[in-house]
Amino acid sequence: MSKQKDFVKFENVDKSYDGKVLVVKDLQLDIEEGEFVTMLGPSGSGKTTCLMMLAGFETPTNGEIYLGGKAISSIPPHKRGIGMVFQNYALFPHMTVYENLAFPLRVRKIPKDEADKKIDKALSMVSLQGFASRMPGQLSGGQQQRVAVARSLVFDPQLVLMDEPLGALDKNLRESMQYEIKHIHESIGVTVVYVTHDQSEALTMSNRIAVFNDGKVQQLSSPDELYEKPVNSFVAEFIGENNTFNGEVSDISGGKCKVKLSNAEIIANPISVKSKGEKTKVSLRPERALINPKDKMDNIHNGKIEEVIYHGDHTRVRINLLGNPEFILKVPNSSANLDIKLGNEIKIGWNSEDARALDPK
Amino acid sequence: MSSETKQILTTDGIPLEVSLKKAERKNKIKAFLLVAPLLFFLIITYVFPIGDMLFRSVDDKMVTQMLPKTFKAMENWDGQELPEEEVFAAFHEDFIKLVEDKREGKLSTQLNYTKNGFKSIIKKLRRKSKTFEEGNYKEQIMSVHKRWADVEYWRAIKRRAPEFTSQKYLKGMDMYVNEEGKIVSVEEDRRIHRVLWLRTLEIAFFVTVFCFLMAYPIAHLLATLPMKYSNLLMICVLLPFWTSLLVRTASWMILLQQQGIVNDFFVGIGLVADDNRPEMMYNKTGSYVAMTQILLPFMVLPLYSVMKTISPSLMRAGKSLGGTPFVAFWKVYFPLTIPGIGAGCLLVFILAIGYYITPALVGGASGTLISNQIAFHMKSTLDWSFASAMGLMLLSGVLVIYWLYNKIVGIDNIKLG
């Protein structure tokens, strides 16, 4: 059975709530069957609106959404057969866990013994066997979350939407839930569209990530590509940590460019710059810069250590480098022999490949 | 196994409990002093008068005290035949004393409550008693009027011997203690209270139902509309609330009367003929319409406060899981509003059951409630003990409803806003 490439398809979708501002602008998005796609973006970027349009609680102002090749704009939410996990779980507080899970099966008129089997399966999937008779109020946040996930899956939907489902959990629980959801996705192969503003969540769980900003998808690619190769400075800054240099392209040739800063010149990888004289923002991941590099690197500069912050597994070092006082380096704590002390001058190097010259925004 | 628990001591060696009490005493006194004025006020203006009125409903000392010797002499009388001379003598003695104090009129009123016909024969007895000779009072009293020779009347007197009585309560249920001391209902054409009780329950019930049907959508709108509109709507709900009850009732009179605005409108659109205008006031319809409107906010507010707490994502969840909008409403939203429904219905029902001004003004004869009857006895007949007996019956009715509600729904499930 071949997987449908455009199982979910947003085609030229616009959305406006007040007729003045477009919350979603000309959205194009294809999601493959069985894929885990995350919509990531700051609040107000339109990601939740997209999810709500997909679920059927909002209608697109323009354009069409297709699910399995069928236009769904005119189908009401309860006929779309899409599972959904809500931000605050939205468990029915007056029903037991069992009744919550039975709800979608009962409205589908599935016989009781079959429904019981499905509920057992769904509960064991989230390791909550034995909790069926509890009320949601008697469960911890993490358990409620699992029930919500189980409920969204119990009627075997082809597509599950998750709207910041882990937002209310504490950090440890959130991380373990991330893995759990990821494993569930892998084991049953359901298509998941996941909305979050937490980038680490997005990077851990997704097959592909759509970074939203200002009603538009800025970049849609796999987590590693998104992190390693951001296509614009918004993505570069939104995902992970980022050191930036603002400057002007002074030379561009052979896949490399020279960028003139206020008091120096660096060599960078031209991504969004095309010609000499263009303003640019050069982006460099903290872990790509090395202290006292042994390999030959085409950028080597001296900087002064301004601040040293101990982080357990690594140390963050803030360096005043080439006029940027906010240059961050991550030093693994195994390299304790390095002479990292406040006020020391150190040598820092990186490859021009990793310094991406992006739009100046 | 020893149940003895080790006493925990503080570092000073004082038992911890003692120490704790000492530390908290000051706070307790402070708290008490803060509420003391209100408590005092409530006791004087509320607990004491109401207690007094309730006591009045069973108190029957008046006659007991007016005829002490008679009742003493009657103790051994079996009530079958006319009493002995001794009873008549004692009655004569008590009566002369009452006449001296000019209190025989009160006695006649009181005895007349028990049995009709006492008024005239007591008046007669007072006139004749001045000429009575000593001795053989039985003959002399019996000769005053033939009713004095009727054992029924003496039994009626004896029934007033106890200091406490339940007869006012029986009267409230259209029942009385007959000559044989049995509790029986009054003749059918003289029953007025039972009809009133039933009508009160009926009107309160339907007013509650109407209020619920109208308030539910309003409260839902209030809870789901954007702030801008919901505030405006809230003011519309509360505005009548802030208007005087009398003014609102009077406006209903203007609207509902036969030559009123509503009737004019009906005639205008051709719904009814001009010479056949329906009566919408001075009957049950008037009570229903006016009371429903006046009590509506008491239903809207508890419903609103409950609906406000129901996350809209629950309905969405219901729909996304495959429930039609109706199923999502009925299985998810509605059950969650039950605490509000309970609170609103209880509140409206209890208020309606004791409603007075509105039915008095727009209810007419067929739309008045038991509270109007209570007011009638307070103001017109001055039978306060009967009024307070009915008041207490009303109160116990409310408590029974409250108890039933607690049994069925659970009072901790209630939410008053």
pLDDT in tens, B14-66: 888 888 888 889 899 999 999 999 999 999 998 998 888 888 888 888 888 88
Is B220 in the same domain as B257?
A: yes
CB B372 within 8 A of CB B363: yes
Residue B336: list chain A partners with CB under 8 A. 93-94
The average pLDDT across B154-172 equals 83
Is B88 in the same domain as B17?
A: no
Is residue B139, in this structure, part of any structural domain at all? yes
Is residue B286, in this structure, part of any structural domain at all? yes
Is residue B100, in this structure, part of any structural domain at all? yes
Name every residue whose Cβ is closer than 8 Å to that of residue A81 and which is 6 or more positions away in sequence: A155, A157, A158, A159, B322
Domain count, chain A: 2
CB A177 within 8 A of CB A185: no
Cβ-defined contact of A55 to B316 (cutoff 8 Å): yes
Structural tokens at position A307 = 């601040």
Cβ-defined contact of A151 to B321 (cutoff 8 Å): yes
Asked which of A213, A233, A253 is the last residue of a domain, the reply is A233
Is A143 in the same domain as A82?
A: yes
Cβ-defined contact of A56 to B331 (cutoff 8 Å): no
The average pLDDT across B105-110 equals 85
Is B381 in the same domain as B284?
A: yes
> What pLDDT was estimated at residue A336?
57
Is A224 in the same domain as A119?
A: yes
Residue with token string 């009367």: B257
CATH number at residue A83: 3.40.50.300
Mean pLDDT of chain A: 86
User: How many Cβ pairs within 8 Å bridge chains A and B?
Assistant: 69
Confidence of residue A103 (pLDDT cuts 50, 70, 90): very high
Is A62 in the same domain as A116?
A: yes
Is residue B176, in this structure, part of any structural domain at all? no
Is B230 in the same domain as B258?
A: yes
Q: Quote the domain boundaries for residue A291.
A: 241-358
Is B37 in the same domain as B157?
A: no
Distance CA A155, CA A153 (A): 6
Determine contact: A92 vs chain B, CB below 8 A.
yes
Interface-testing mutation among B309, B321, B327, B334, with chain A (most A C-beta atoms within 10 A): B321
Task: For A267-308, write each residue's pLDDT tens digit.
Answer: 888 887 777 778 888 888 888 888 877 777 788 888 888 888
CATH number at residue A342: 2.40.50.100
Cβ-defined contact of B320 to A78 (cutoff 8 Å): yes
Structural tokens at position A321 = 């480098």
Residue B314: list chain A partners with CB under 8 A. 90, 92
Of B146, B151, B137, nearest in space to B91 by CA:
B137
Is B109 in the same domain as B231?
A: no
Is B4 in the same domain as B71?
A: no
The average pLDDT across A21-25 equals 87
Task: For A26-36, write each residue's pLDDT tens digit.
Answer: 888 889 888 99
Is A78 in the same domain as A168?
A: yes
Asked which of A233, A266, A298 is the last residue of a domain, the reply is A233
Is residue A3, in this structure, part of any structural domain at all? no
Is A245 in the same domain as A228?
A: no
The average pLDDT across B93-101 equals 88
Is A175 in the same domain as A94?
A: yes
Is residue B56, in this structure, part of any structural domain at all? no
Residue with token string 């969004």: A272
SS3 assignment for B261-302: HHHHHHHHCCCCCHHHCCCCCCCHHHHHHHHHHHHHHHHHHH
Residue A104: list chain B partners with CB under 8 A. 321-323
Is A53 in the same domain as A122?
A: yes
Mean pLDDT of chain B: 86
What sign for the dihedral angle of Cα A162, A168, A171, A176? negative
Is B115 in the same domain as B71?
A: yes
User: What angle in degrees, to the nearest 10, is found between the helix axes of B227-242 and B193-224?
Assistant: 160
ipTM of the complex: 0.79
Nearest to A88 among B313, B319, B325 (CB): B313
Is residue A2, in this structure, part of any structural domain at all? no
- DSSP H helical segments within A2-138, as ranges? 47-55, 97-107, 112-125
What are the φ and ψ backbone dihedral angles of A258, each rounded to 5 degrees? -100, 135
Cβ-defined contact of B320 to A56 (cutoff 8 Å): yes
Task: For A160-216, write each residue's pLDDT tens digit.
Answer: 999 988 887 888 888 888 888 888 898 888 999 999 888 888 888 899 999 988 888
Residue of chain A whose alpha carbon sits nearest to that of B335 = A94
Is A296 in the same domain as A163?
A: no
Q: Please determine, for residue B232, whether its predicted confidence score (pLDDT) is greater than 70.
A: yes
Confidence of residue A335 (pLDDT cuts 50, 70, 90): low
Is A22 in the same domain as A134?
A: yes
Is residue A347, in this structure, part of any structural domain at all? yes
Is A301 in the same domain as A342?
A: yes
Is residue B51, in this structure, part of any structural domain at all? no
Determine contact: B311 vs chain A, CB below 8 A.
yes
Is residue A45, in this structure, part of any structural domain at all? yes
> What pLDDT was estimated at residue B349?
92
> What pLDDT was estimated at residue B384?
85
What sign for the dihedral angle of Cα B357, B359, B364, B368? negative
Residue B322: list chain A partners with CB under 8 A. 78-79, 81, 104, 107-108, 155
Is B147 in the same domain as B210?
A: no
Is residue A314, in this structure, part of any structural domain at all? yes
Structural tokens at position A191 = 């298509």
The average pLDDT across B213-238 equals 91
C-alpha distance from residue A322 to each of A252, A291, A302, A355, B196 (Å)? 21, 15, 8, 14, 95
Determine contact: A88 vs chain B, CB below 8 A.
yes
CATH number at residue B390: 1.10.3720.10
Q: How far is A59 from chain B (nearest CA, A)?
A: 14
Is residue A320, in this structure, part of any structural domain at all? yes
Is B141 in the same domain as B227?
A: no
Indicate the SS3 state at residue B6.
coil
Distance CA A326, CA A307 (A): 10
Q: How far is A100 from chain B (nearest CA, A)?
A: 10
Cβ-defined contact of A104 to B317 (cutoff 8 Å): no
Nearest to A82 among B320, B327, B331 (CB): B320
Nearest to A88 among B311, B319, B336 (CB): B311
Nearest to A57 among B316, B324, B332 (CB): B316
Is B214 in the same domain as B253?
A: yes
Q: Please determine, for residue B217, whether its predicted confidence score (pLDDT) is greater than 90.
A: yes
Confidence of residue B206 (pLDDT cuts 50, 70, 90): very high
Is residue A342, in this structure, part of any structural domain at all? yes
Nearest to A94 among B316, B322, B336 (CB): B336
Domain count, chain B: 3
> What pLDDT was estimated at residue B3?
46
Of A329, A39, A87, A47, nearest in space to A201 by CA:
A39
Q: How far is A57 from chain B (nearest CA, A)?
A: 8
Is A42 in the same domain as A13?
A: yes
Task: For B340-364, write each residue's pLDDT tens digit.
Answer: 898 899 889 999 998 888 888 888 8
Confidence of residue A1 (pLDDT cuts 50, 70, 90): very low
Structural tokens at position A237 = 């800054």
Is A127 in the same domain as A204?
A: yes
> What pLDDT was estimated at residue A101?
92
Other beta carbons within 10 angstroms of residue B282's beta carbon come to 20
Distance CA A82, CA B320 (A): 6
Q: Under the phi-then-psi rule, with left for phi > 0, alpha for psi from -120 to 50, and beta for the rest, what region is A156? A: left
Q: Quote the domain boundaries for residue B85.
A: 61-162
Is B309 in the same domain as B269?
A: yes
Residue B321: list chain A partners with CB under 8 A. 78, 83-84, 103-104, 107, 151-152, 155
Structural tokens at position A63 = 């354009």
Is residue B174, in this structure, part of any structural domain at all? no
Is residue B178, in this structure, part of any structural domain at all? no
Asked which of A165, A200, A233 is the last residue of a domain, the reply is A233
C-alpha distance from residue A184 to each of A3, A51, A190, A294 (Å)? 19, 20, 9, 44
The average pLDDT across B162-180 equals 81
Interface list for B 322-351 with A (CB within 8 A): 322-325, 327-328, 331-332, 335-336
Residue B413: list chain A partners with CB under 8 A. none
Residue with token string 């207690």: B51
The average pLDDT across B72-84 equals 83
